[in-house]
Amino acid sequence: MQLEATEIHVNYDHVRAVTGVSLSVGEGETVALIGANGAGKTTMLRAITGLTRPDSGEIRYEGHRLDTMAPNDIVRAGIAMVPEGRRVFPYMSVKDNLLIGAFARTDKNGVNATLEMVLGRFPRLKERYSQAAGTMSGGEQQMLVIGRALMAKPKLLLLDEPSLGIAPKLVQDIARSIVAINRDEKVSVLLVEQNSRMALRISHRAYALATGAVALEGASKELLQDDRVKRLYLGGEL
Ligand SMILES: Nc1ncnc2c1ncn2[C@@H]1O[C@H](COP(=O)(O)OP(=O)(O)OP(=O)(O)O)[C@@H](O)[C@H]1O
Ligand SMILES: [Mg+2]
């Protein structure tokens, strides 16, 4: 497995946020992490990117220990995260927002090639290239932060609720882009979503978290048909 987290525990003071979660992402896979508010999804992503240290457990990426590595070294090792809440630099142009994502790279030609790739994947960003990022719609800003993460040329992309608060039509566009990034750019994806149906449709495997622990896991196709999943995670959604 490219990424392997084993028996992760994370406490915030008195809150037991994650209690013994094990999960993995294989090279080339899209893996979904679903679950209700407060289930521990963001905490798992923060543990993987070094922003929150696990109290116990082990995280390995391509054979190296991540849980002792500094966050910027984790980025350099090929892991990029798009955090919750799509934070763009509002007064900077789309172009400059994208270029910030490449801050750790020294291969200028490679950066230009990645920029072309991102603009090809997200034509809206190309149309709005010189526009101030803060004036774009929520869905467009989400495309921008995904594009910015891709500018680091990651091998593994972590996405925290990319569909939250976005118009359904743009959710479909973003879902399609995630599939294309995984398939065509060979980037593995760990996708956190409360839109479980979308996440299960576009992922190979999935984990459902409930109050800090893995409640269900398996192939996404099978989970979509599972009665417990239908009842607990798919009720009432589009
Ligand atoms: N900095 C913090 N200090 C204290 N408790 C925290 C902190 N961050 C998260 N928690 C708690 O840890 C638990 C897990 O939170 P987390 O943000 O990982 O959930 P989540 O699954 O991402 O939820 P959501 O879908 O609402 O984003 C929650 O009970 C939350 O209140
Ligand atoms: Mg969260």
**Rounded distance between C-alpha atoms, residue 95 and residue 68, angstroms:** 34
All domains in the chain, ordered by first residue: 3-232 (3.40.50.300)
How high is the pLDDT of residue 96?
Answer: 97
User: Does the beta carbon of 17 sit less than 6 angstroms from any atom of ligand 1?
Assistant: yes
How high is the pLDDT of residue 86?
Answer: 84
**Rounded distance between C-alpha atoms, residue 98 and residue 118, angstroms:** 9
**Rounded distance between C-alpha atoms, residue 171 and residue 83, angstroms:** 17
Helix (H) or strand (E) holding 16: strand 15-25
How high is the pLDDT of residue 238?
Answer: 41
Strands 3-12 and 15-25: antiparallel
Q: How many whole angstroms from 34 Cα to the centroid of ligand 2?
A: 10
Tokens found for residue 120: 């090809």
Tokens found for residue 217: 């896991």
Q: How many whole angstroms from 194 Cα to the centroid of ligand 1?
A: 14
How high is the pLDDT of residue 7?
Answer: 98
What's the whole-number average pLDDT of the chain? 94
**Rounded distance between C-alpha atoms, residue 37 and residue 10, angstroms:** 16
How high is the pLDDT of residue 231?
Answer: 87
Cβ atoms < 10 Å from Cβ of 10: 22
User: Does the beta carbon of 101 sit less than 6 angstroms from any atom of ligand 1?
Assistant: no
How high is the pLDDT of residue 237?
Answer: 47
From 12, 44, 45, the mutation candidate for ligand 1 (largest count of ligand atoms within 8 A of CB) is 12
From 11, 43, 81, 158, the mutation candidate for ligand 1 (largest count of ligand atoms within 8 A of CB) is 43
Ligand 1 atom closest to the Cα of residue 43 is 18
Contact 9, 56 (CB under 8 A): yes
User: Does the beta carbon of 46 sit less than 6 angstroms from any atom of ligand 1?
Assistant: no
pLDDT in tens, 8-29: 999 999 899 999 999 999 999 9
Ligand 1 atom closest to the Cα of residue 46 is 18
Ligand 1, atom 5, residue with closest C-alpha = 12
**Rounded distance between C-alpha atoms, residue 141 and residue 134, angstroms:** 8
**Rounded distance between C-alpha atoms, residue 22 and residue 6, angstroms:** 4
Burial of 225: CB neighbours in 10 Å, binned 0-12, 13-18, 19+: exposed
How high is the pLDDT of residue 134?
Answer: 96
User: What stretches in the chain show pLDDT beneath 70?
Assistant: 236-238
User: Does the beta carbon of 54 sit less than 6 angstroms from any atom of ligand 1?
Assistant: no
From the CA of 213, the nearest ligand is: 1
